[in-house]
Structure 1
Amino acid sequence: METLTFRRQLNGLTRVDMEEYFDDVELENLYQWIDRIPLTRPKKNIGKDFSDGVLLAEIVAHYFPKIVELHNYSPAAATKQKMENWYLLNRRVLRKLDLDLSDEVIRALANCKPKVVEKVLMLLRLQIDKNLQRQGRSRLEIDANFAQSMDTKETKKSQSAPAAENSQALVPVKTGRSSPGKLSSPRKLGKGEIPHNHPDRSSYHFEGKGYFDPAIYIYPTSDNVPRSYLEEKEMECMAKDETIRILNSKIRRLEHLIQLKDTRLLELQGQYGREQRLYYMAARNNLLR
């Protein structure tokens, strides 16, 4: 199955190209991250949702609002307009985050090719973390602050609402099977099933609306390193090993050149000594005559 690979270029950008694959645990973690970001469209199909680049621009604007001008990216249905959005986004925004998409990847994104946008989002999240770290900020902190502000707004709204509305807000969520005005009876969850209002529930993988509550959400620990991050470090190590090998080869060549120069210098010194002795002998013979 094709997806993407990436490599560090000499200009510092991370070049993204089409090639191999990653696992479902990373996908689930990625979908949960997207659910925590305010986007202008309801999330239905991730490939189609992100195919015109607008939602990805909104994700970058959520963390770096100064580097993205959202009015430059309009929703599009035609493949040509989608690719124009991606090229503009790649040139003006992604390269500022040290990320560079190849033409093949942009074409795959615009054509909703499966599993491509997921890998791009994983790499984007990695570059966001790096750039935020340089600024002394944290992506998890920004997400938590946003969720807390939304929770505060909801609290103020509920406090200002009539008591009757407050009581209705505490009623359990109704399912699609229940008739209007009636509550559905509690249903026993199956093994491994996640409740509809659980924070780990993703709008891309499960039915129902995604939900995030900072009071009960468990952040990923530092022990869970994304595979994309590990792959990048391995690529950096390989590049450094190659650089070391080239430098060692240059050192050996310079050492050989030094040996040749030393040998040549000794030869010239010997030749000079012989010429000097011959000169003194000729001068002595002339004096004796």
Structure 2
Amino acid sequence: MGHHVIVGVDGSPEGRAAARWGGQEAALRNVPLRLVHAVDWPVAPAIPRTGREKADRWADEALAEAAQEQRSRHPRTEITTRCLSGRPAAVLAADALDAGLLVLGSRGIGGLAGFLIGSVGLSTVIATETPVVLVRADGPDRPVPDARGGIVVGVDIHEAADHVLSFAFEEASIRGCPLRAVHGWKLPAAYEYVPFFDPENEREIGASVTGMLDDMLLPWRHKFPSVDVTTRAYMGSAGRELVREAAGADLVVVGRRTRRSPLGAHLGSVAHAVLHHCPAPAAVIAHA
């Protein structure tokens, strides 16, 4: 990613956490940081002008506060601010067209219920093909990275994953951290009708899937020889197991298809599970 990093700023704790994450990312990549606030204000004669002025002033203050904090943390990073009018998802997606990364905050609701990505975050992720990272607010619910730490990437061996793997490997290389590539698989449907299932078949299928995962990663291992890569193929729900595997990680990376179904664009079950239940920052990478 050679372009600038954009962060959506709204003055909330989640927005401030996103600004901190985006500032660190821009500094790591030595690229400019742009802080953006979208003012969703209806244009109508009945709306008092003083209300619009108050909203604009609040937006300016939120941007100035975020910019001041990031300049103190990263004095060598070029930091700019921008206040735009329009629907936040549409505005952020349009502004991110020439960006390398878009960072947004995501609100936690605690416990087993997980997290709320929110309508703005969800709509923005679907509206843009720019990589999007969603960051939780700092607090007691945020996990402390464990000994594994590093980056976790969910890989579908049956889909093109170049964009997903490129982002994950580049991120691990820049951060100098380990990368864990994981894939979830299920037994073929025909096995449900087998009266006596041989566990050896499961082991053979698992070994075959692991081999396919290793083969998919081989070009990227050669391109990024400094990245310490481990793999894991597990039988079970891909979304649930990926969330479990990513506990304590610094970042989890998942893909989403850009192809539209008759019902419109959607995230997919794995990305949906990660965004709603993984406490770590989550990167969503669009792919064909």
Query: Does TM, normalized by the shorter one, top 0.5?
Result: no
Larger radius of gyration: 1
TM-score (norm 1): 0.23
Q: Which of the two has greater helix per residue?
A: 1
Q: Which of the two has greater strand per residue?
A: 2
TM-score (norm 2): 0.23
